[in-house]
Amino acid sequence: MDKQDTTDFGYQQVRAEEKARKVAAVFHSVADRYDVMNDLMSLGVHRLWKRYTIELAGVRRGQPVLDLAGGTGDLAGRFARMVGPEGEVVLADINASMLRNGRERMLDKGLAGNLRFAQVNAECLPFPDNHFDLVTIAFGLRNVTDKAAALRSMYRVLKPGGRLLVLEFSRPVVPGLKPIYDLYSFTALPLMGKLVTGDAASYRYLAESIRMHPDQSTLKSMMEEAGFERTEFYNLSGGIVAVHRGYKF
């Protein structure tokens, strides 16, 4: 395969057009147990990471918000309450199984009034220019085939003064944390995946995809290349996770 036509799928190199299909298969496999696994894998800390991201968002009543890779709606549900009936939140995901579960969860919580659901590819968003005050993507950017194209697409749909928040696994910065984190990622995660979902391979991919994702400084530079300004990042849990924020002016 020509290297220019390939991309990473975990530690594998696959044709660029195959990655979306392979990622879709991963999330279709784990969709029904996704929330349970998130709690187990992070010992519940993912809720604190998401809460911190929501606090950084600065969402106000009446604003339109786009939550990409929205999964089961952890962020979108909170934003729906914050923007109120005058606002609108689009819970978007490329994966039909995840989107279905998210929609059912939001309906069960009575949050359908100002929520829309859309199956979209982050690389080519089907929304108007200058439309959203906030775009978020939590634990989804590392699964995108062309991250630079996705960042440009997010920039396009943001209003001037709008902001992007990227919550994603990143690189540990605390001395001595990396070997412990690696041991946990490549032993405990696949084992939990096998026991809870019957799928160890998807969680092995998860660990690999985290290592292939750009580190904090590289992602910051990618956001700036896409047009974002005042770009900054916040390390959480010793850099295991980071929140990047950038503005469109």
Which pLDDT value is given to residue 43? 81
The two three-digit tokens of residue 120, written as one number: 């979209």
The residue ranges of the chain whose pLDDT is under 50 are 1-3
Please, which residues have CB within 8 angstroms of residue 53's CB and are 6 or more apart in sequence? 75, 136, 138, 165, 167, 243
- In tens, the pLDDT along 117-153 reads 999 999 999 999 999 999 999 999 999 999 999 999 9
121 marked as binding residue? yes
Cβ atoms 249, 161 nearer than 8 A = yes
Q: What is the mean pLDDT of the chain?
A: 90
122 marked as binding residue? yes
Q: Which residue has the tokens 């412990």?
A: 180
* pTM of the entire predicted model: 0.89
93 marked as binding residue? yes
Which pLDDT value is given to residue 195? 84
- In tens, the pLDDT along 158-193 reads 999 999 999 999 999 999 999 999 999 999 888 888
In total, the chain counts a number of residues equal to 249
| 144-to-135, 137, 160, 163, 213 alpha-carbon distances in Å | 16, 11, 25, 20, 10
Distance in angstroms (rounded) separating the CA atoms of residues 114 and 223: 29
Q: Which domains does the chain have, with CATH numbers?
A: 45-173+215-247 (3.40.50.150)
138 marked as binding residue? no
Which pLDDT value is given to residue 2? 46
Which pLDDT value is given to residue 226? 98
